Amino acid sequence: MPTVLALETSCDESAAAVVRGNVVLSSEVASQVAEHAQFGGVVPELASRRHVEALPLLVERALHQAQLPLTAMDAVAATVAPGLSGALLVGSVTGRSLARLAGVPFIGIHHLEGHLCSALSGDPAPELPLLVLLASGGHTELIAMRSEGDYERLGGSRDDAAGEAFDKVARLLGLGYPGGPAIEAAARSGDPERFAFPPGRISLPGGGFHPYDFSFSGLKTAVLREVERWRQQGEELPVADLAASFQAVVCRVLVERSVRCAEDHGLNGVVVVGGVSANGALRERLQRVSQERGLALHLAPLVWCTDNAAMIGLAACRRFGAQQQSSLQLGVAPRWPLGEADALYGPPPF
Ligand code: KG4
Ligand code: ZN
């Protein structure tokens, strides 16, 4: 079992963890969310600066919690794509330096593979092939995983990511950042059927709709129109009902299209990962529908849904097990398809 020190700095969470095989020995996260909240979203320059400040101490704490020295690591891993360039660079340079210092391989990890491994490394391990629904602040994708490291994108959002829609709608409703947890809390006392918001469909050139693609920007505009209508009438905004109705339609389309995609492609299991998979209403709906349809459902434990370094370590242990390591010259990429994750283990593609 390899032991790996892993770093995550792709967005607004600085994190370090020590993972041995499928076991997380320590996981330290310093969230910058509260600081970015006053700007209503992530400020990239500020995120980089906070990673620079936080990372050394987080690394020390992760090793201390695991009761292991740096010299006990078999590899050092860091997220190298996708994400905010400046933020990724902090984790990348720290990871490559520590790997060099310890004389062990450096393993660059694709952030979305990290999210995926948060649900794949359970015991017993989910059986392949699987459909992956990845719903985070930056991505909403449906991916077929037929074997280890083999990813085929089958659909996804054409505009805003699901988490981004939660964040934008929360801002419209005056609920603050990050929007997901705020909307979920407000929705608890709301009526999900009060407003019929559009499910967001992508038209096909020959007629009909794309069965596995999503569009969340029209939904956000529909909420905006409703908010404006109430404001014009000078009435108090029905925040709970708006939040519940918005959340219900997002959950419905995510579940409906994932299930259809899995069934159409003969994939008997569904894995749901990323920040949005922490949503209780989504988890309940997934559980109910997958049971009805006879699909095996795998959800990441709640603590691993949002960004952390444990998931990066889990991914790195799998790559290490496949004898893969990255060049010390590997840089970072703000965008990089998950299907090209294998390229991180050859001559540097960026
Ligand atoms: O995976 P993540 O931590 O970071 C990215 O890689 O993007 O996802 C963050 C996103 C944010 O947009 C946040 O609003 C959303 O996940 N999120 C949620 C919930 N918790 C976090 N969305 C819906 N319900 C939640 N409980
Ligand atoms: Zn993430």
Interval 45-75: pLDDT, tens = 999 999 999 999 999 999 999 999 999 999 9
Interval 228-285: pLDDT, tens = 999 999 999 999 999 999 999 999 999 999 999 999 999 999 999 999 999 999 999 9
Which residue is it, tokens 């490394």?
121
Which residue is it, tokens 């400046």?
86
d(CA 205, CA 115): 33
Q: Is residue 121 part of a domain?
A: no
102 and 142 housed in the same domain = no
From the CA of 280, give the closest atom in ligand 1. 26
Whether the pLDDT of residue 325 is over 90: the answer is: yes
199 and 294 housed in the same domain = yes
CA atoms within 13 A on the CB side of 240: 6
Integer-rounded Cα radius of gyration of the chain? 20
79 CB within 6 A, ligand 1: no
| 3-class DSSP state of 144 | strand
- Report the domain count for the chain: 2
Q: Distance from the CA of 294 to the center of ligand 2, in angstroms?
A: 29
| Res. 143 pLDDT band, cuts 50 70 90 | very high
Q: Are 11 and 91 in contact (CB under 8 A)?
A: no
| Residue 212 CA: distances (Å) to CA of 30, 43, 254, 258 | 35, 32, 9, 7
Q: Distance from the CA of 88 to the center of ligand 2, in angstroms?
A: 12
Parent domain of 62: 3-116+305-344
Tell which residue, 151, 150, 133, has the closest CA to residue 142: 133
Predicted pLDDT of residue 15: 98
pTM of the entire predicted model: 0.94
What is the average per-residue pLDDT within 186-191?
Answer: 98
Q: Is residue 83 part of a domain?
A: yes
